[in-house]
Chain A
Amino acid sequence: MSSKNNVNGQASGFQSMTPIRPGEEHDLRAYLEAMHENGSPLARLPRTHMARFVIVENFHNDPSWGQRKEEHLDLWYLIFTSNLDGDIDSYLDELCEALAPEAREIWGRCVGCPEETKGDALKAYLKHNQIDCGFFYAAYGSSTAAEVEAALAQRDQVIAFATRVQGLSDEELQRSFLAEFGTT
């Protein structure tokens, strides 16, 4: 697979999979599950559309499925994935600064994570553990998160405007439109 498979339009898909230090699994899970309480730190990364942290305990083995030998993970793993704008490299630069306050509690509980859980050291660690996409789908891959957010806000604005200006004369309508949306 190549890194081209991580791209769709201007959007990219990043994924890392890092082994969790034995004994830290439950604390990490509790920390991640509580992260929304004060607002997700991922909101500090404006190039993020959607992202997740997932803890994988093991592979699923079912004897009835005809798998000759079972396979188990040696440790629990932390998966981080992000659907983001632009290139992964510069996104990781931003992530490793913006998420520095949380990174010690997250990747700092993983095997091999550098002592300094930020900046270039953290970036190198995440890149070392990167898993390339095989196929990455983005429904609106040509639009950035900022463009999506602006378009959504504008759509609300148009709906409110259309409701408000019903019954106005053409002159009043044009004046209101220019006041609301300006000109270019």
Chain B
Amino acid sequence: MYARAMGKLPSAGPVTATGTASHNIHGHAIAITVFSTIKWWGKAVLPVLFAVTKRVPKLTETLVQLSFIHFARWSVIKELPYNGEPQTKRKLRYPHMYFESNFNGGWEEYIDAFSHILTSGMAAFWGSSYGFPKALPTAPFKKYIQVNETEASHYYSAYPDATITMIKGALDVDEKLASLKRDAAKLDPAAFGTAYQRFLTEAQRSL
């Protein structure tokens, strides 16, 4: 088994060369956490948008193809549960959107890719947020993300040494290797040699 993550955080200082705050990093995994305040109409539109995005896989195809996002979530916070004094019992004036992503690569490259490739998706998800400057050009958008971003105090990945490409590759190898494992003992040596070479050819892009 891959050793579960027990390593220390990289000691890259407050911000790395790729623009990522050091507490947002665990190995290859990087955290981004962004709050934005939503306009009144976003409260009605966003749940519909989320539901449609979930039900139409084509809409997330690009996200899948980008292959650098492990997990991401968008949540609309309309109220904060009350826990007693000294918390104030009140309704939020505006809904707020919480966004987090778990990705690999640098912060700058991540935002660039998001802006250039997911331009319309970004406009749909953040279009109802106050101050959203459009995904392109990237400079104002990066500034917008920076002012709304909060650094994690602790970030953990179970497999910090792995990029998403490695993970998808490993899962692909596992699937392809399964049939060879199953048949290996039943084949004569020549047929096994052929099957092994076929496996290597099919799996080589994942290795």
Contacts and interface: CB of A to CB of B under 8 A. Distances in A.
B131 A131 contact: no
Given A35-B154, A135-B73, A181-B177, A43 B94 contact: no
Interface of A: 1, 5, 11, 13, 15, 17-19, 21-22, 28-29, 32-33, 35-37, 39-40, 42-43, 46, 48-57, 59-62, 64-67, 69, 71, 74-75, 77, 79, 81, 83, 110-113, 128-129, 131-140, 143, 145-155, 158-159, 162, 169-171, 173-174, 177-178, 181-184
A59 B23 CA distance: 20
Interface in B87-103: 87-88, 90, 92-94, 96-98, 100, 102
Contacts of A112: 83-84, 87
B75 A178 contact: no
B67, B81, B96, B181 — which one has the most chain A CB atoms within 10 A of its CB?
A: B81
Interface of B: 1-2, 4-9, 23, 26, 29, 31, 33, 35-37, 46-47, 50, 53-54, 60, 63-64, 67, 69-77, 80-81, 83-88, 90, 92-94, 96-98, 100, 102, 130-131, 147-148, 150-159, 161-162, 164, 166-171, 173-174, 177, 180-182, 184-185, 187, 189-190, 192-193, 196, 200, 203, 206-207
Nearest to B8: A36
Given A50-B158, A134-B74, A170-B189, A148 B153 contact: no
Given A50-B157, A67-B37, A170-B192, A155 B83 contact: no
Given A139-B168, A140-B167, A131 B98 contact: yes
A54 B33 contact: yes
B207 A43 contact: no
B207 A162 contact: yes
Contacts of B53: 135
B152 A53 contact: yes
Contact of B159 (A19, A52, A81, A149): A149
Contacts of A151: 167, 170-171, 173-174
